[in-house]
Structure 1
Amino acid sequence: MSHKTPMTYKDAGVDIAAGNEFVNQIKPLVKQTSRPEVVADIGGFGGLFALNATKYQRPVLVAATDGVGTKLMLAFMMNQHETVGIDLVAMCVNDIIVQGAEPLFFLDYFATGKLTQAQAVEVIKGITEGCKQAGCALLGGETAEMPGMYKSGEYDLAGFAVGVVDQDQIIDGSTITSGDQIIGIASSGLHSNGYSLARKILLESLKLDLAATPAGLDRPLGEVLLTPTRIYVKSILSLLQNFQLKGIAHITGGGLLENIPRVLPQHCKAVLNANSWDKPAIFDLLRLGGNVPLEEMYRTFNYGIGMVLVVPQEQTDHILQRLSTLGETAWHIGHIADADTACVDIL
């Protein structure tokens, strides 16, 4: 039996005209991230990027993809959507820079049940800000409107980044030896990991109000939790011009205990001094509020360290000085020792 009234895609919940208008709204934002290698504006079937291969002897492309995880739930609860866009870029480009690669371009995927243009524009504003901080171009993306897939007002994000490095400049940790030193660069907070446990402790167990400022914090809890992930790209690119970075670990899911061994040779271990760096107050609130064992803190959260560098002993102080001039807070947090298997000891 046929319907008497003609039906359209818009009747099913997908507004193509609204999607086109959204693309027009974000074009000026995307242009702010452009690099000389970008060939065309967004809106084509694929983004075009002309790699300047003359800058490299043996260019190797490095790719990374990631999301923001359940941190998005905080954005929904607070109706604040710009910072998660920065998080999305950070999680990808920070993974690329640890291999010595310069991020070149970024693509995003935004999926929702019904497109709310104002909300989506806020997300893209954050993505463009993250791309500017990383020095990479927002080359394109996908906006998917899928009625029935998501609750009203909610969405999901995914990001994809590509960088480039000369093959003989790839940082893979293979030259790390006993006696090398470990530098930790401060995180801006939880970054984008551990939010399922954080929500369980803070909102379900302690029943804290996101608008309140618990003892020890200097801002409302919601603002602290939505602090965007720090992007370390430009600082590390600066270090690479003058110093030898033998290994770099982005401290994401798995914390210090799981991520540092990923860059260590099998015969080395990292020995960290737990008292050598400052832990933001939010971590004390989580540890004490949830009675979380220390090992779990080090495995679930970054615990105040967003990026770890393994460097030659004689360059340690100079690197710390450079990081300070670059606006980073960093500490000498440990050293490399001999071991049977790659691991982390925290003393």
Structure 2
Amino acid sequence: MDRDPRCPFDPPAGLRGLPPMARLEFSDGHLGWLATTSEAARAVLSDPRFSARRELKHPAVRFTTPGAAGRPAPAGFFGAMDPPEHTRYRRLLTGQFTLRRMRLLEPRIERVAADHLDAMAAAGPPADLVSAYALPIPSVVICELLGVPYADHDFFQERSLRIVAPDGDVDGATADLAGYLGELVRRKRSAPEDDLISGLLGELPDEELVTVAMLLLVAGHETTANMLALGVFALLEAGRAYEEGPNGTDTVEELLRWLSIVHLGAPSRAALEDVVVAGTPVGKGETVALSLPMINRDPAVFGDPDVLDPGRAEARRHLSFGHGVHQCLGQQLARLELRLGLRALFGRLPGLRLAVPAAEIPLKQHAAVYGVASLPVTWSQDR
């Protein structure tokens, strides 16, 4: 269900008007459900009678690794596990992503953003905001946090794109990244450093640590980079600049709600027993997918939900980071990178605007993460 190309910031037209729990035929023919309201989604994501285990779920879209459906997730892939296995990994990692620790990264994020803006300003307009700014910021930060050499960014960014692409060589890209990270882990066992991977050396065997590192590396830059670039596109198309409210997050939370870049298929859950959700009986073994674009524009939660309103008081009620025990581990880091990245960009480049008509911006149609493939921008050179 790709978005309507005539209006890239709106949910798929075919999803409008659906009930809270709508019947959905999955890509493998399974007849499951699609949750379209905030109430239904929260019920599914917070109920232990629904499982995140990959081998129990059916793929809502055709981007799953060939043969992965029906197989348990590899050791360390905690996003596709239930407690107590999931709990063990979360406890090891939660302390690394607290709000306090993320705030300690603020000066470094500001420096990375400033350096890339200086390079853009020196080269002069136009520039592709994706390659020049939106992708490097989260990539540099997650590399430094994990202890991955940023010099290898071309290698892991290309493999990450193949992993989230609907028709990419997922098996090959995953194997490449596993081999690369496996060698990195072995080097750190000989010479540990002050980073997250080194900090987990005594907690996890190599195989599990490689999987955890891969999950954090891919998720840590791919989603935030897409969100930053698409957020700038949305603001420029709406004729708005970045506005920072009293808590510093107003525009960021509204963009997270309004854009919903993870739009279908993730997260999803399988019913472990018969459950009633929003008045709808869900049978044991049935999979429930979530439509985040519909959930984050639920009129029962958000007034005028299709309007981009940076001052929206209820914006934080979005579910873009999930809900329940699987809520996004790196959400505070993503918020910080988005807030600082947008603030620096709009403050440094006066008159920032699209360099081509909006209709010419190449949009990603990935099943996993929505965004722009490139974002040509220009600006005034009067300072």
TM-score class, shorter-chain normalisation, is: under 0.3
Task: Determine which structure has more spread, i.e. the larger CA radius of gyration.
Answer: 1
TM-score by length of 2: 0.21
Question: Of Structure 1 and Structure 2, which has the larger fraction of its residues in strand?
Answer: 1
TM-score by length of 1: 0.23
Using CA pairs under 8 Å that are at least 6 residues apart, name the structure with larger relative contact order, 1 or 2: 2
